[in-house]
Amino acid sequence: MTGRGKGEEKKKRQTVSARSGLVLSVSRMLRYLKIGKYAKKVRVGAAIYTAAVIEYLIAEMLELAGKAAIENKKKTITARHILLAVKSDEEIDNLLSHVTISEGGVPPHIEPVLLPKKTFRERKD
Protein backbone atom coordinates (compact mmCIF):
# COMPACT_ATOMS: atom_id res chain seq x y z
CA MET A 1 0.00 0.00 0.00
CA THR A 2 1.14 3.48 -0.70
CA GLY A 3 -0.87 5.13 2.07
CA ARG A 4 0.68 6.35 5.27
CA GLY A 5 0.51 4.18 8.34
CA LYS A 6 0.42 5.41 11.90
CA GLY A 7 4.21 5.68 12.24
CA GLU A 8 4.91 7.39 8.93
CA GLU A 9 5.00 11.16 8.66
CA LYS A 10 4.35 13.30 5.64
CA LYS A 11 7.56 14.64 4.11
CA LYS A 12 7.90 18.42 4.26
CA ARG A 13 8.14 20.14 0.90
CA GLN A 14 11.29 22.14 0.28
CA THR A 15 11.85 24.85 -2.27
CA VAL A 16 14.62 24.51 -4.82
CA SER A 17 16.37 27.43 -3.13
CA ALA A 18 16.32 25.67 0.24
CA ARG A 19 17.58 22.41 -1.27
CA SER A 20 20.45 24.20 -2.99
CA GLY A 21 21.25 26.29 0.11
CA LEU A 22 20.59 29.66 -1.50
CA VAL A 23 18.79 32.75 -0.25
CA LEU A 24 17.81 34.11 -3.66
CA SER A 25 14.76 32.58 -5.27
CA VAL A 26 15.75 29.98 -7.86
CA SER A 27 12.22 29.72 -9.25
CA ARG A 28 12.13 33.49 -9.84
CA MET A 29 15.52 33.30 -11.56
CA LEU A 30 14.22 30.46 -13.75
CA ARG A 31 11.20 32.55 -14.68
CA TYR A 32 13.39 35.54 -15.63
CA LEU A 33 15.69 33.33 -17.71
CA LYS A 34 12.67 31.96 -19.58
CA ILE A 35 11.10 35.39 -20.09
CA GLY A 36 14.42 36.76 -21.40
CA LYS A 37 14.47 34.13 -24.17
CA TYR A 38 18.21 33.55 -23.80
CA ALA A 39 17.73 30.01 -25.10
CA LYS A 40 14.90 27.82 -26.38
CA LYS A 41 14.96 25.72 -23.22
CA VAL A 42 16.23 26.59 -19.76
CA ARG A 43 16.88 23.94 -17.13
CA VAL A 44 16.65 24.39 -13.38
CA GLY A 45 20.43 23.87 -13.06
CA ALA A 46 21.03 27.07 -15.02
CA ALA A 47 18.75 29.00 -12.67
CA ILE A 48 20.51 27.54 -9.62
CA TYR A 49 23.93 28.47 -11.00
CA THR A 50 22.80 32.00 -11.94
CA ALA A 51 21.22 32.56 -8.52
CA ALA A 52 24.38 31.30 -6.79
CA VAL A 53 26.63 33.63 -8.79
CA ILE A 54 24.42 36.67 -8.16
CA GLU A 55 24.15 35.81 -4.46
CA TYR A 56 27.95 35.58 -4.22
CA LEU A 57 28.42 38.96 -5.93
CA ILE A 58 25.86 40.59 -3.63
CA ALA A 59 27.53 39.11 -0.55
CA GLU A 60 30.93 40.34 -1.71
CA MET A 61 29.63 43.85 -2.38
CA LEU A 62 27.80 44.03 0.96
CA GLU A 63 30.92 42.91 2.82
CA LEU A 64 32.95 45.71 1.22
CA ALA A 65 30.13 48.22 1.75
CA GLY A 66 29.95 47.24 5.42
CA LYS A 67 33.66 47.92 5.81
CA ALA A 68 33.21 51.30 4.09
CA ALA A 69 30.36 52.15 6.49
CA ILE A 70 32.51 51.23 9.50
CA GLU A 71 35.35 53.42 8.16
CA ASN A 72 32.91 56.35 7.98
CA LYS A 73 31.69 55.56 11.53
CA LYS A 74 28.15 54.69 10.38
CA LYS A 75 25.93 51.75 11.30
CA THR A 76 23.77 51.83 8.19
CA ILE A 77 24.97 51.00 4.69
CA THR A 78 23.99 53.72 2.22
CA ALA A 79 24.31 54.10 -1.54
CA ARG A 80 27.50 56.07 -0.92
CA HIS A 81 29.09 53.10 0.88
CA ILE A 82 28.09 50.76 -1.95
CA LEU A 83 29.68 53.12 -4.49
CA LEU A 84 32.90 53.31 -2.44
CA ALA A 85 32.93 49.52 -2.15
CA VAL A 86 32.43 49.02 -5.90
CA LYS A 87 35.13 51.54 -6.80
CA SER A 88 37.62 50.07 -4.33
CA ASP A 89 37.46 46.55 -5.84
CA GLU A 90 38.99 46.39 -9.31
CA GLU A 91 37.04 43.37 -10.56
CA ILE A 92 33.63 44.56 -9.36
CA ASP A 93 34.39 48.04 -10.72
CA ASN A 94 35.17 46.49 -14.10
CA LEU A 95 31.93 44.46 -13.97
CA LEU A 96 29.84 47.53 -13.09
CA SER A 97 31.77 50.03 -15.21
CA HIS A 98 28.65 51.24 -17.07
CA VAL A 99 26.40 51.37 -13.98
CA THR A 100 25.38 54.60 -12.27
CA ILE A 101 24.57 54.24 -8.56
CA SER A 102 21.91 56.80 -7.68
CA GLU A 103 22.70 58.96 -4.60
CA GLY A 104 26.22 57.49 -4.59
CA GLY A 105 28.14 60.67 -5.33
CA VAL A 106 31.62 60.48 -6.81
CA PRO A 107 34.68 58.64 -5.54
CA PRO A 108 37.12 60.88 -3.68
CA HIS A 109 40.08 61.90 -5.84
CA ILE A 110 42.31 64.97 -5.90
CA GLU A 111 44.46 65.59 -8.94
CA PRO A 112 48.17 65.85 -8.02
CA VAL A 113 48.42 69.13 -9.96
CA LEU A 114 45.98 70.76 -7.55
CA LEU A 115 47.95 69.84 -4.43
CA PRO A 116 50.22 72.56 -2.97
CA LYS A 117 53.84 72.37 -4.09
CA LYS A 118 56.47 71.30 -1.60
CA THR A 119 58.82 74.00 -0.37
CA PHE A 120 62.59 73.70 -0.30
CA ARG A 121 62.64 72.78 3.42
CA GLU A 122 60.02 70.02 3.01
CA ARG A 123 62.06 68.44 0.21
CA LYS A 124 65.15 68.12 2.40
CA ASP A 125 63.23 66.18 5.09
Q: Residues 6-27, buried b or exposed e (16+ Cβ, 10 A)?
A: eeeeeeeeeebbeebebebebe
Cα 112-110-102 angle, rounded to 5 deg: 150
Closest by CA position to 79, among listed 94, 110, 100, 109: 100
Domain residue extents for the chain: 16-105
Architecture of domain 16-105: Orthogonal Bundle (1.10)
Closest by CA position to 65, among listed 101, 17, 28: 101
- Supply the pLDDT for residue 110: 79
pLDDT digit string, tens, across residues 76-90: 999 999 999 999 999
Length of the chain (residues): 125
pLDDT digit string, tens, across residues 95-125: 999 999 888 888 777 788 888 887 766 666 5
Mean pLDDT for all residues in the chain? 88
More confident residue, 101 or 32: 32
CA distance 111 to 105: 17
pLDDT digit string, tens, across residues 47-77: 999 999 999 999 999 999 999 999 999 999 9
pTM: 0.75
